[in-house]
Amino acid sequence: MDNQTLLQELARNQNDSDKKEQTILENISNLIKIKDYNSIFKIISSLSSIWSDISTARISKIAKKSVDSLPKERDDNILYLLTELIDWSGKEGKKMLRLDLEVRKINFLLIFRKFRECLESICVILKDLKRFDDKENQIRLYVYESRAYYELNDISKAKSAMTSARALAVSSYCPTDLQANIDLLSGMFVCDDKLHSVAYSYFLESLDGFTICKNRMGAALSVRYLILSKIMSKKYDEIPVILKNKPIIPYLNDPVLIFFLEIRDACKKRDLKEYQNILQNNPSLLSEDTFVKKHLKELYSILLENNILKIIEPYSNIRINLISEKLNFSLEEIEEKLRKMILDGVIYGIIDNAKHLLIIYEKKTDDKDELMGEILKDLKEIANS
C-alpha cells in the first residue's frame, strides 16, 4: 500500500482515530514482513501530512509500536531505519520520542552483539534520560549495560549496573517485562556464584513475568536457565516434576530445552563420552549464549571429576596412565586435573611423580592430624626413594 492508497483508506475512517491508527500499523506490519524498511520510514516520517489532525502523542505511539514489531534478528537495515527515525524525531523537536528510539536502538545493538557500541551509546543517552527524569528508560539502560558487560566478561561492572537497575526499580515504577529481565540477570549472577537454588527462584520469577507479558522469547530463556540450574545442583529427579508446571508446558518442544534434558541424562549417568557427543552434535544451540556455554564448560569439568572418582573408587593407589587410558585423555591433562582435585579437597591423597602414581587416603574428617601424619609419612618415603 503506497501513501496515496493509505490516504484513501484513512479518509474512509476520518472520524475514527483508532481505526486510522490500526490501518497504519497493519500497513507497517505488512512492510515489516517483506523487510521494506525504507517505506516504513516514509510512512512514519510523513504521518503529519497524511493524517492532518494527528497528535504528537499518537505519532510517538505508532513509531514505538512499529519499532517494537521489528524482528529481533541481525539486519543492519533495521539499525539504519532506527538511525533515520532518531534523526527525524530530533529534527522535528520530538525529544522524548528520540530518547525512546535511542533506547530501542541500544537494545538492538545488544541483540546484534555489538557490545562496545552498545556501551558507548548508553554512556551518552543515560545523561539525557536523567535530565528528563525518565526513570523507566534509565532502568532499561542499566539492564542493557549489565548484559553487555556480562557478555564481555566484565562481571564486576555487570553487577554494578544491575545494582543500579534494581535500586531504581524499587524506588520507581518498573514494568513487568523489565522486572522479568532484572530477575533473569539476577539469576544468572547467583548461578555463576553457585547459588543454584536462589538462581532457580529468580528464573521462576522471570518466567512468571515474561508469561504475563506474553514474551515467549524471554519465557523460553527462563525455562532453559531454570532447568540448567537444577542440572548444576545435581537435582536431576526434580526436573520431571518441574516440566509439568503449566507455564513451562508450552516450551517442552524447545530445541534447547530438549538438549538440556539430554545433558541431564548424561550427567545423571556420569557418562562423559555421551556428554561430549551431545555437545558435538548440537553446536548451533550453543553458539551465542555466553551463560549457557560457561555452565556447560563447568558441567564438563564436574563430569570429568565424577568419572575420575568412579575409576579410582576401588583403589588406595592407582597408576595415572590407567585413568588417562580409560577416559581417553592425555596423561598431562589427567595429572593437571588430579592436582586441582587434590587442592580443592575432592581427592584426599598425593601424586607420586616418579612412579606416576596417585596415592589415595581414606577421608577421616574427625582426625585431621592423623590424616596429615599419613600424608607426611608417605611424602618422606617418596623423597627418600
Mean pLDDT for the stretch of residues 256-273: 93
Residues 331, 282: one domain?
A: no
Residues 277, 379: one domain?
A: no
Residues 346, 371: one domain?
A: yes
| Predicted pLDDT at 226 | 96
The answer, yes or no, to whether residue 50 has pLDDT greater than 70, is yes
CA distances from 354 to 146, 330, 331, 383 (A): 49, 18, 14, 10
Residues 306, 320: one domain?
A: no
**Could you give the CA distance from residue 57 to residue 53 in angstroms, rounded to a whole number?**
12
Residue where a domain stops, chosen among 313, 348, 364:
313
The chain-wide mean pLDDT, for the chain, equals 90
| Predicted pLDDT at 254 | 95
Residues 361, 232: one domain?
A: no
The answer, yes or no, to whether residue 99 has pLDDT greater than 60, is yes
Residue 261 lies in a domain: yes
Residue 324 lies in a domain: yes
Mean pLDDT for the stretch of residues 349-355: 88
Residue 213 lies in a domain: yes
The answer, yes or no, to whether residue 372 has pLDDT greater than 70, is no
Residue where a domain stops, chosen among 291, 313, 335:
313
Residues 334, 305: one domain?
A: no
The answer, yes or no, to whether residue 183 has pLDDT greater than 80, is yes
The answer, yes or no, to whether residue 182 has pLDDT greater than 90, is yes
Length of the chain: 385
The sheet that has 317-319: what strands, in order across it?
A: 317-319, 357-360, 349-352
Q: Are 166 and 178 in contact (CB under 8 A)?
A: no
Identify the CATH number of the domain in which residue 347 sits. Answer: 1.10.10.10
| Predicted pLDDT at 163 | 96
Our count of domains for the chain comes to 2
In terms of pLDDT, which residue wins out, 364 or 307? Answer: 307
Residue 322 lies in a domain: yes
| Predicted pLDDT at 17 | 80
The answer, yes or no, to whether residue 51 has pLDDT greater than 60, is yes
For 349, the enclosing helix (H) or strand (E) is strand 349-352
Residue 100 lies in a domain: no
Mean pLDDT for the stretch of residues 6-10: 61
Identify the CATH number of the domain in which residue 214 sits. Answer: 1.25.40.570
Residues 365, 288: one domain?
A: no
DSSP letter (8 states) at residue 52? T
Residue 345 lies in a domain: yes
Residues 278, 243: one domain?
A: yes
Report the DSSP beta bridge partners of residue 351.
Answer: 358
Residues 340, 307: one domain?
A: no
pLDDT digits (tens, 9 = 90+) for 227-242: 999 999 999 999 999 9
Domain that residue 358 falls in: 314-384
Residues 270, 361: one domain?
A: no
Gyration radius (Cα) of the chain, Å: 28
**Could you give the CA distance from residue 152 to residue 146 in angstroms, rounded to a whole number?**
10
pLDDT digits (tens, 9 = 90+) for 320-344: 999 999 888 888 889 999 999 999 8
**Could you give the CA distance from residue 31 to residue 215 in angstroms, rounded to a whole number?**
22
Residue 108 lies in a domain: no
pLDDT digits (tens, 9 = 90+) for 213-226: 999 999 999 999 99
Residues 214, 300: one domain?
A: yes
Residues 183, 305: one domain?
A: yes
The answer, yes or no, to whether residue 384 has pLDDT greater than 70, is no
In terms of pLDDT, which residue wins out, 355 or 192? Answer: 192
Residue 255 lies in a domain: yes
**Could you give the CA distance from residue 157 to residue 145 in angstroms, rounded to a whole number?**
9
Residue where a domain stops, chosen among 281, 313, 345:
313
